[in-house]
Amino acid sequence: MATSLTLAEVQQNLGTLPGWSHEGDALVKTFTFGSFREAFSFMTRVAFEAEVLDHHPDWRNVYNRVFLRLNTHSAGSKVTAKDIELARKIQQISWVG
Protein backbone atom coordinates (compact mmCIF):
# COMPACT_ATOMS: atom_id res chain seq x y z
CA MET A 1 0.00 0.00 0.00
CA ALA A 2 1.33 3.42 -0.96
CA THR A 3 1.82 6.11 1.67
CA SER A 4 0.14 9.46 1.14
CA LEU A 5 2.20 12.63 1.23
CA THR A 6 1.60 15.35 3.79
CA LEU A 7 0.13 18.63 2.63
CA ALA A 8 3.56 20.25 3.10
CA GLU A 9 5.20 17.58 0.93
CA VAL A 10 2.57 18.05 -1.78
CA GLN A 11 3.01 21.83 -1.71
CA GLN A 12 6.79 21.50 -1.89
CA ASN A 13 6.56 19.26 -4.95
CA LEU A 14 4.02 21.54 -6.64
CA GLY A 15 6.77 24.17 -6.75
CA THR A 16 8.49 22.03 -9.40
CA LEU A 17 5.31 21.27 -11.36
CA PRO A 18 4.20 24.38 -13.28
CA GLY A 19 0.45 24.76 -13.64
CA TRP A 20 -0.43 21.84 -11.38
CA SER A 21 -2.58 22.37 -8.29
CA HIS A 22 -3.77 20.32 -5.33
CA GLU A 23 -7.55 20.04 -5.35
CA GLY A 24 -9.71 17.54 -3.53
CA ASP A 25 -6.85 15.21 -2.56
CA ALA A 26 -5.49 15.08 -6.11
CA LEU A 27 -2.98 16.78 -8.38
CA VAL A 28 -4.85 18.44 -11.24
CA LYS A 29 -3.95 20.25 -14.42
CA THR A 30 -5.58 21.16 -17.72
CA PHE A 31 -3.48 21.11 -20.88
CA THR A 32 -4.68 23.06 -23.92
CA PHE A 33 -3.32 22.09 -27.32
CA GLY A 34 -3.71 23.48 -30.82
CA SER A 35 -6.07 20.75 -31.98
CA PHE A 36 -7.79 17.51 -31.08
CA ARG A 37 -5.03 15.61 -32.86
CA GLU A 38 -2.37 17.21 -30.66
CA ALA A 39 -4.37 16.51 -27.50
CA PHE A 40 -4.87 12.88 -28.48
CA SER A 41 -1.19 12.50 -29.38
CA PHE A 42 -0.28 13.82 -25.93
CA MET A 43 -2.67 11.38 -24.27
CA THR A 44 -1.16 8.48 -26.19
CA ARG A 45 2.35 9.41 -25.05
CA VAL A 46 1.16 9.79 -21.45
CA ALA A 47 -0.56 6.40 -21.63
CA PHE A 48 2.74 4.67 -22.43
CA GLU A 49 4.50 6.36 -19.49
CA ALA A 50 1.60 5.61 -17.15
CA GLU A 51 1.72 1.96 -18.15
CA VAL A 52 5.47 1.77 -17.44
CA LEU A 53 4.84 3.24 -13.97
CA ASP A 54 1.74 1.06 -13.48
CA HIS A 55 -0.03 4.23 -12.36
CA HIS A 56 -2.89 5.51 -14.47
CA PRO A 57 -4.45 8.98 -14.53
CA ASP A 58 -8.06 9.94 -14.20
CA TRP A 59 -8.51 12.08 -17.29
CA ARG A 60 -10.85 13.33 -19.93
CA ASN A 61 -10.51 15.04 -23.24
CA VAL A 62 -12.71 17.70 -24.81
CA TYR A 63 -11.50 18.70 -28.28
CA ASN A 64 -8.08 20.32 -27.67
CA ARG A 65 -8.08 20.13 -23.86
CA VAL A 66 -6.92 17.31 -21.61
CA PHE A 67 -8.01 17.40 -17.97
CA LEU A 68 -5.80 15.34 -15.65
CA ARG A 69 -6.35 14.26 -12.06
CA LEU A 70 -3.77 12.18 -10.23
CA ASN A 71 -4.13 10.40 -6.91
CA THR A 72 -3.49 6.90 -5.61
CA HIS A 73 -6.49 4.71 -4.88
CA SER A 74 -4.48 2.27 -2.73
CA ALA A 75 -3.54 5.20 -0.46
CA GLY A 76 -7.13 6.21 0.19
CA SER A 77 -7.29 8.32 -2.99
CA LYS A 78 -4.62 10.70 -1.69
CA VAL A 79 -1.50 12.09 -3.37
CA THR A 80 1.59 9.88 -3.16
CA ALA A 81 5.09 9.89 -4.60
CA LYS A 82 3.72 7.90 -7.56
CA ASP A 83 1.50 10.85 -8.47
CA ILE A 84 4.40 13.27 -8.28
CA GLU A 85 6.50 10.98 -10.46
CA LEU A 86 3.77 10.65 -13.10
CA ALA A 87 3.12 14.41 -13.06
CA ARG A 88 6.83 15.01 -13.71
CA LYS A 89 6.78 12.55 -16.63
CA ILE A 90 3.70 14.29 -18.01
CA GLN A 91 5.46 17.66 -17.78
CA GLN A 92 8.41 16.25 -19.72
CA ILE A 93 6.07 15.00 -22.45
CA SER A 94 4.02 18.17 -22.79
CA TRP A 95 4.98 20.81 -25.31
CA VAL A 96 2.31 23.29 -24.15
CA GLY A 97 3.36 23.89 -20.56
pLDDT, averaged per 10 consecutive residues of the chain (97 residues), comes to 89 95 96 97 96 93 97 89 95 89
Q: Is residue 84 part of a domain?
A: yes
What total number of domains does the chain contain? 1
Q: Is residue 1 part of a domain?
A: no
Q: What is the predicted pLDDT for the residue at 1?
A: 66
Domain limits for position 55: 7-93
CATH of the domain at 38: 3.30.1360.20
Q: How far apart are CA 80 and CA 70, in angstroms?
A: 9
